[in-house]
Each structure stands twice: as C-alpha cells, then as structure tokens.
Amino acid sequence: MTAKSSLTAIAAKPLPEDTHSCWSCGSMRAAHFCESCGKVQPPVPVDYFTFFGLSPKLNLDVVALEKDFYDLSRRLHPDLNARAGSREQEWSLEQSSLLNDAYRTLRDPIKRTEYLLHLEGVALEEQSKNATEQARVTGEIKKQIVPPDLLEEVFELNMELEELRMNQKMGEDDPALIAEIGKQKLALEAKHDALFEELQTHWKAWDSLIDPSRQPNEELAGERTQVIGNIVDVLNRRNYIRNLVRDVNAALEN
Amino acid sequence: MATDHVVGIDLGTTNSLVAFMQGDTPVVIPGEDGLNLLPSVVALDAKNQPVIGNAGRNSLIETPERAVYSIKRLMGRGMEDIQEELKFFPFRLAEDLQPGEVLRIKLGDKTFTPPEISALILRQLKRSAERFFGGPVTKAVITVPAYFNDAQRQATKDAGRIAGLEVLRLVNEPTAASLAYGLDQKQNGIVAVYDLGGGTFDISILKLHDGIFEVIATNGDTHLGGDDIDNLLITIALDDIRGDLGVDLRRNPEAVQAIRKAVIEAKIALSSQRSVKLDIELPGGKHYRREITLEQFEQLILPVIDRTVGPCKQAMKDARLQPEQIDEVVLVGGSTRIPKVHALVKDLFRREPHIDLNPDEVVALGAAVQANILGGSEATQNMLLLDVTPLSLGIEVAGGVTDKIILRNSTIPASARQFYTTQVDGQANVAIHVLQGERELAKDCRSLARFDLKGIPPMAAGIPRVEVKFLIDANGILRVSAREQRSGKEAEIQVQPSYGLTDEQVEGMILDSFDNAEEDFRRRQVIEARNEAATILAALEKGKKSPAWGQLTTDEKKQIAKMEKALVAAKAEDHYQAIRKAIDALNQGTTRLAELMMDTAVSSALKGKNMDETDLGEGPTAPHPMAKAEFE
C-alpha cells in the first residue's frame, strides 16, 4: 500500500534539530506523530517541503500531496486529540496549523513557487503586494518597471483606458473602443497563460539542480542563482500582466 | 465515566435544541414540555426569575418590556453596528451604555449582556439534558453560523462558560448539518449546504472524501433570515392599521408582538397553502383582517431571499466550481421550508435540493455527531471535519491599509507570522491592530482587537525583530503570541478585544453561584452522598465482625476508626465535597480490609463501592429534581 508507506515515511523521517524519539513511548525516529504509539509530537520548525517529507522541488504530485494531507490530518487534527493532555492538545493545534499552512502553500503552483523564492531569500511577493496596495489606496499609479517586451502594448492600452475613463465621465459610449480593449485583454490573458508554461520550464531546471548526486559547489550555486533569477523574472512579468488585466476589468465594469 | 455526556447544542436565533449520540444515531433531547424545540426567548417573571422558551413567549405579548427574542443578532456586536437591528427589533438597551462597552439589554429593570441572555437559553438546554441523563452535563459542542466573525464566536463561547458548560468546540452550522447527513451516506463528492435560519444565512461547499468533510468555501450573511421576512409583514400590517383605523401601534409593544405572532403563523401557513387570512384583535377590541395570497407573499419576500444569491455565487467562485460540479445540495434552517426559497436554490444550483432530515433539527444532530467525534467514539471513528475561516484576517499597515495575512477559506487551524520592528530608539511598545474582513481599508474591516507588544528590550530603532504569530484555532477563534527574536524574549501581549467581555467579566457572570436549580442539584448530591456514606458505614460494621478485621494492625484499625468518625461527622453536615472526601478517604483506608475479605461474602459491599465511585444512584429514567418551575 503506497498510502501507508508514504505516511510512515513522513512519520519516520528524522527532522533537523531534535526529537528522534517519541516523548511518550520512547520509540526512535518520530516526527509529527509517533509511528509506534500514534501520539502527536512537539512541532519542530521546518519548511513546508520538509514537513511533508519532500525535497524542495517545484514539480510536485498534487494528488499524492492531497492524500498525505488527509492522512496526516487524521493524525494531527485537534478533534482527534481532544481527549489528550493539554500539552498534547497544544502540539496538535500547532502541528495541524502547520500542516494546513503547508498544504495550502504547496498545492498551489504559484504559491509554491513564491514560497521557494522565500526560502531562497527572495522577498518578491511582499514588496510587490505592499507597493500595489499602497498605490491603490493613495490613487497613485504604481511605479513599476514595465517588462520591455510589453512596453508598446502597455502604452497603447493605457491610452485606450484613459479614453474609456474620459468617455465614462462624459457619459459617452464608444463600442468600438470597448471592443478594442476587450481584444487586448484577451491577448494579455493569453500571455498570462503562456508565462505559466514558461515558468514550468524553469521548474524543471530548478528540480534538476536539487538532485542529491550534485555536489554542492560554486558552480551549482551559480546555476541555482541563475534559475531563481529566471523564475523571479517570469513571476514579475506575470504579476504585472495580472494587475493590468485587473485594471482593465475594473475600467470595463464601471 | 459513564455520566460524562458531551451534548451538541444548536443555539439558534429563533429556536435552540440539544442533542446527543445514542449509540450510532444522533437524537434530540426534548424539554420538560416534551418538545424538541426551545424557543430562544428569555423573559423575567414577576419575581425577576428568568423564564425561558414557550413560557417566555407568552411574556412577549403580555409583558414585552420584560422579554427578549433573537438575541443572537446582538452577539459580539457593538452599539454602532446594531442601528439597523434597533429599527426592527424591540431591543431595549440600557440607558447608561457607554460607547465601546459590551451591549446590555433591559429586561424589566435589570440589564443583561447578550452572552448572559444566551447563557440562560443554554442553561435551560443543559437542564433538559441533565433531566434526561439523570446526571450533570458539563461539556458541549455549540454551533455557530459559519459566517460568524471572531467576536461573535467568542461571545458564544462566553455564553457557554456563563451557563456552566465547557465548550469543547464551536462548529459551523452548515458543516454540522453535513455531518448529520453524511453519517449514513458514506459517499464521496461535492455537497453544498444552504442554511437559511431565523436570523442568519450560510452557504458552505464541502468535499466529502472517505469520511473527511473538507469545507472548500463558505460565505453568508449573519443578519439575514426569517426575522427579516417577519419584519416586512409586520410593517405592512402596521401601515394598514394606521391607514384604515388611524392608529399608530408602533409604540405599543404588546400590539406589535401580537401582530408578530400572527404574521409568523401566516408565514408558516403559506408554506403549504395558497392564501391565508390574518385576523388580529387590536387594543380596544377592533379586529385587523387581511388576506395574503401566496403570490403577494412571494413578491414581498423576493428582495430578502435574493440576498442569498450573492454569497452562493461567491462561494462557488471561491471553490472554483460550477453549479454542475456540485453533486448534492442540502437545505437547512426553518426558512428553507418556504417554497420560494426551495425554488431559488433549485434554480441556483440546477438540481433538486435534499430535505431528508428535519431542517430545524439537523444542525443540533450534527453537533451531537461532532461531540461524538471529539469523544473518540467508534460510531464516528472514520469521520473528521476540516473547516475553514470565513473571513480574511488582516493587520493594519501604514496608510490605514489592511494587509491580509490569513485569507478567507483557509483550512483551520491556520497560522501566519509577521515581523515587527521599532521606529524610534529605545521604543518598548509596538501597537498592532488586527482586523477581519475582505475590504482593502482598515476602516471598512471589522476591528477584532488591538494588541500592545510590550517589554521590547531597548535597542536602536529598527533593530528589534518581533515575531508575532497569529493562529486561528479549530473554533475559528484567534490566538496571538509574540517573541522578540534578537533577545529571544517572549514579548508580552495585551489584548483589548474591540467587542467582547474580559475573562474577569465572564467569571463574574457564571450562573451557578446564584442559581436555584443548581442549588437543588447540590442538595440532591448531598442526599446521595449521605446514602452512600450510610452504605459504606454499614459495610464497615459488617467488616469489623469478619475474621479479616483481626488481621489488621492496631495502627490500621486506629486509622480506620478515625476516618469512620470523620465520615459520620461529615454526613451530619450539608457539604457535598466534605462527605465525598470522607467517603473517598474511608474507601481508600479500607482497601486492605476489603482485600483481606475478598473471599467472604461481605467483601462485595466494600469493594463494590470502591470500584463504583461515580455511581449517581439513579438510572436515566429517574425524574430529575430540577427545572420544574419554569414550565407551569
């Protein structure tokens, strides 16, 4: 049974730092719960990949992940530890929140990628999110570097959006303009999808560098930095287009 | 312990119920009047004693200034967000209420907070269960609308504590309903639960997977329900009366309540007939008569029930599902009995909704199932509920913007970490404002609490790194902890809930201390303990005559004599705990005697008692001594 073995693997996988033995029965090599007596173990701060017993690869079997999520939920959820001592209940609460946070992040391809960047020390998401929120509140146009390959299109689209807003203000209707903007929006959405495919090629490149047979050396570090840079670039462009589509939608809805 | 029953409670806007698992079937426990539904009405009688349920309902018409209904609408809310409520509900706020204070409602000349009023309803249910089991009930699972925010959940938990109940879990109502439905239908698939009750609306979409009930998305409106339909009908009647008879009854609470009662009956009748005739006797003997056809009724309520469409569509969008992908739709809540609501749901989800279980009872039954899961029972061994938080949790950042740190529909427990630093040298405190809601600006979200991080070690500005951990527990309630990372010091957190009672306030409200019924219960405990003491003393007398007695040392005999004397003394007093302690001591002290007597016939009396300390002496069919007074 693959299901059972994967779960046992998670339970048995030694975590960094401590707890190689169960606090309750003393069995060796217990992680989230004890393989031997089933008791929830004190949480150890680990990254989300390690929590699921995975190496930090971006191609991930989401179906298997869901199965592990359900299996671990059956071990760690507070409802199933409601009669345990207060210390165990606390551990169960922390372990299951960690499980939920990890699952939520890893099952989503973009969140998973952003999380890896975070582990690699790139704070892409926060910067951009804060800047965007700030810009929306103050009403300023967000100072963002337009990806060079989009420069022309963005310029044209912004002119059209400006015209549309003027029309709306004057109470005028220009179906041709709306149709044109709609066409551009479709083109942007197609680009958005294409970027996801591009992202997946970088995933592949990253995963090949995670191979345990590769010796950690300067060359490997350089390759990794290169791939991370590529990923950041794709995500930035993708976010840029997503925000643009959102602006177009907002303008069209008015 | 056989007497340790965990009950499931549906604390509803209009009606409340208590249920438990009998073997592998959840059943509702009836009240003393034999009815399953306890109207969520609280009144004070002439002696200022609380009267709950149907008895309280009479008071609504006779002495409306001494009664309150639909208190759930006020749970966890502040004065500024109940202005709409005050237009339509006869809530009488205390005159000296300060802004920012927890609401207080006047009943006669006394005032009560919403959790206290809810606690009176809970206590009534607790008594029904205690009468049923013939023993105390101290643990419960209580249901709340899925869309309840943190403050509303906390208020419900407080109500449980005030009623003397340990609330093991708050469960979302639609999710509870799905548990009741899922119990005998061991199938996988996507289920939507549409729950339109007396005052709240929820929609939850779940994925059922081999006994795991995983909520994918939830949405709702905590101020939308049958009450709103009643209010429309009341307004029409009042307008009619003013037009036809020239009298404005708006300021006549007795008349308004009489009208309310009549229109609710009419509304219910219209679920099964084409038209209904209203006939209400008004003060002065005149009658107000009016016929309402089903068509008129449906047209009238359309704007109300249409408000459920938006949340349903949002939930489907959040779940990334089309109506075709939903396998089953379940109807919950009394208002789903309205044919037009049924039709709306059918239209929205493009399939015939289920109403196999009584929509008034299904939530309580589900709560009983969850109570069973928490108890680790075999009947529900394979079942696990994975619920979500209905609203995003955020922090106010520069510019009054909400920075969302836990998004809505995240599986709970869920957590998030934020890092804070200081802005000036030596700064010791950092203020954090926690918000709940989907809007971008902090002022448009619900303020949950303000936290003060205190005791940050003096460092240059920007150097401290305070990690604050936000954790939403399985009840959907927020917990916060903080640690300064450079010094490793736990930072102290001072919580000021924006709406809600402090621990001390709740402590002071706990009903037991001045509760007559509890006093009765204690008296009964004392009587039972005395009987038990008499039994063990008699057994000891017999033991002294047995050969085993001679085998004890002089010291042991002396000890036993001392404990015997203590028990005789305790037995003469009225303190249950003292008698209990003396019984336990003597039981303990005579263990060796009992062991020595193992072979003799007498041993069973002593040893038997030793092993059966929790025996309450009466079976579940025994009449319970309390809660008689309230249903006369």
Kindly report, residue by residue over B367-387, the tens digit of the pLDDT. 999 999 998 888 888 899 999
Residue with tokens 């017993």: A53
Best residue in A39, A133, A246, A249 for a mutation probing chain B (most B CBs within 10 Å)? A133
Distance from the A162 Cα atom to the nearest Cα atom in chain B, whole angstroms: 24
Query: What chain B residue is nearest to A136 in terms of C-alpha separation?
Result: B440
Percent of chain B whose pLDDT exceeds 90: 45
What pLDDT score does A22 carry?
A: 72
Q: Which residue has the higher pLDDT, B318 or B254?
A: B318
Query: What chain B residue is nearest to A78 in terms of C-alpha separation?
Result: B474
What secondary structure, in 3-state letters, does B40-64 show?
Answer: CEEEECCCCCEEECHHHHHHHHHCH
Task: Say if residue B424's pLDDT is above 80.
Answer: yes
The residue among B215, B440, B394 whose CA lies nearest residue B318 is B215
Residue type at position B196: L
How many H helices and E strands in chain B? 18, 26
Sheet containing B446-454: order of strands: B401-406, B393-397, B430-436, B446-454, B492-497
Best residue in A72, A100, A108 for a mutation probing chain B (most B CBs within 10 Å)? A100
Domains of chain B with CATH codes:
6-224+307-386 (3.30.420.40), 226-306 (3.90.640.10), 393-501 (2.60.34.10), 515-611 (1.20.1270.10)
What pLDDT score does A16 carry?
A: 54
For residue B623, the SS3 value is coil
C-alpha B156/C-alpha B308 separation (Å) is 24
Pairing relation of β-strands B466-472 and B414-420? antiparallel
What pLDDT score does B40 carry?
A: 95
Task: Say if residue B475's pLDDT is above 90.
Answer: yes
Mean pLDDT by 10 residues, chain A (254 residues): 47 53 65 79 87 91 94 92 87 94 95 91 60 53 62 81 83 81 85 91 90 80 88 87 84 74
A100–B contact, CB cutoff 8 A? yes
What pLDDT score does B520 carry?
A: 61
Chain A residues near residue B179 by CB distance under 8 angstroms? none
What pLDDT score does B521 carry?
A: 65
For A84, B29, B75, B181, the CA distances from B20, given in Å and listed in that order, are 22, 7, 25, 15
What pLDDT score does B287 carry?
A: 86
What pLDDT score does B473 carry?
A: 92
Q: What is the mean pLDDT of residues B86-97?
A: 85
By Cβ distance, the residue of B169, B212, B440 closest to A70 is B212
Q: How many A/B residue pairs have CB atoms within 8 Å?
A: 77
B6: pLDDT confidence band, cut at 50, 70 and 90? very high
Burial (CB count within 10 angstroms: exposed 0-12, middle 13-18, buried 19+), residue A113: buried
Q: What is the per-residue pLDDT across B499-527, written as a single tens digit (0 to 9) for each?
A: 778 777 877 777 754 455 556 666 767 77
Interface of A with B in 25-84 (CB under 8 A): 70, 73-74, 77-80, 82-83
Interface of B with A in 52-91 (CB under 8 A): none
What secondary structure, in 3-state letters, does chain A show?
Answer: CHHHHHHHHHHHCCCCCCCCECCCCCCECCCCECCCCCCECCCCCCCHHHHCCCCCCCCCCHHHHHHHHHHHHHHHCHHHHCCCCHHHHHHHHHHHHHHHHHHHHHHCHHHHHHHHHHHCCCCHHHHHHHHHHHHHHHCCCCCCCCCHHHHHHHHHHHHHHHHHHHHHHHCCCCHHHHHHHHHHHHHHHHHHHHHHHHHHHHHHHHHHHHCCCCCCCHHHHHHHHHHHHHHHHHHHHHHHHHHHHHHHHHHHHC
C-alpha A106/C-alpha A59 separation (Å) is 10
What pLDDT score does B369 carry?
A: 95
Interchain CB distance below 8 Å, B474 and A77: yes
Tokens of B240: 């009619």
What pLDDT score does B534 carry?
A: 86
What secondary structure, in 3-state letters, does B400-415 show?
Answer: HEEEEEECCCCECCEE
Chain A residues near residue B472 by CB distance under 8 angstroms? 97
Task: Say if residue B623's pLDDT is above 50.
Answer: no
Q: Which residue has the higher pLDDT, B510 or B110?
A: B110
What pLDDT score does B626 carry?
A: 30
Distance from the A58 Cα atom to the nearest Cα atom in chain B, whole angstroms: 22
B231–A contact, CB cutoff 8 A? no
B115: pLDDT confidence band, cut at 50, 70 and 90? very high
For B102, B181, B315, B471, B618, the CA distances from B475, given in Å and listed in that order, are 22, 21, 20, 11, 35
What pLDDT score does B29 carry?
A: 96
What pLDDT score does B222 carry?
A: 87
Task: Say if residue B444's pLDDT is above 90.
Answer: no
Q: What are phi and psi of B67, to 5 degrees?
A: -135, 155
Best residue in A74, A88, A97, A136 for a mutation probing chain B (most B CBs within 10 Å)? A97
Task: Say if residue B213's pLDDT is above 80.
Answer: yes
Interchain CB distance below 8 Å, A82 and B375: yes
Q: Is residue B475 within 8 Å of B172, Cβ to Cβ? A: no
Query: What chain B residue is nearest to A130 in terms of C-alpha separation?
Result: B403
Cα three-residue angle A169-A172-A174, rounded to 5 degrees: 120
* Mean pLDDT score across all residues of chain B: 85
Distance from the A178 Cα atom to the nearest Cα atom in chain B, whole angstroms: 26
What pLDDT score does A203 carry?
A: 93
What pLDDT score does A129 carry?
A: 52
What pLDDT score does B608 carry?
A: 45
Q: What is the per-residue pLDDT across B134-161, written as a single tens digit (0 to 9) for each?
A: 888 999 999 999 999 999 999 999 999 9
Residue with tokens 């300067």: A218
Top mean-pLDDT range of A198-207, A209-218, B249-258, B533-542: A198-207
Burial (CB count within 10 angstroms: exposed 0-12, middle 13-18, buried 19+), residue A177: middle
Q: Which residue has the higher pLDDT, B274 or B480?
A: B274
By Cβ distance, the residue of B376, B403, B411 closest to A100 is B411
Q: What is the mean pLDDT of residues B193-204?
A: 94
What pLDDT score does A3 carry?
A: 40
Task: Say if residue B336's pLDDT is above 80.
Answer: yes
The residue among B122, B62, B118, B67 whose CA lies nearest residue B91 is B67
Residues of B carrying an active site annotation? 10, 72, 173, 195
C-alpha B544/C-alpha B586 separation (Å) is 14
Tokens of B405: 């740190």
Residue type at position B265: E
What is the value of pTM for the model shown? 0.79
What pLDDT score does B614 carry?
A: 34
B631: pLDDT confidence band, cut at 50, 70 and 90? very low
Interchain CB distance below 8 Å, A137 and B473: no
Query: Does the domain formed by A2-107 have CATH 3.40.50.620?
Result: no
Query: What chain A residue is nearest to B171 in terms of C-alpha separation?
Result: A79
C-alpha A64/C-alpha A4 separation (Å) is 12
Chain B residues near residue A80 by CB distance under 8 angstroms? 373, 376, 384
ipTM of this complex prediction, to 2 decimal places? 0.81
Sheet containing B384-386: order of strands: B328-332, B189-196, B201-209, B212-221, B384-386
B474–A contact, CB cutoff 8 A? yes
C-alpha B375/C-alpha B555 separation (Å) is 44
Domain boundaries, chain A: 2-107, 141-253
Interchain CB distance below 8 Å, B440 and A79: no
Q: Which residue has the higher pLDDT, A149 or B125?
A: B125
Give A210-215's long-range contacts (Cβ < 8 A, gap of 24+). A210/A55, A210/A56, A210/A57, A212/A55
What pLDDT score does B42 carry?
A: 95
Percent of chain B whose pLDDT exceeds 70: 90
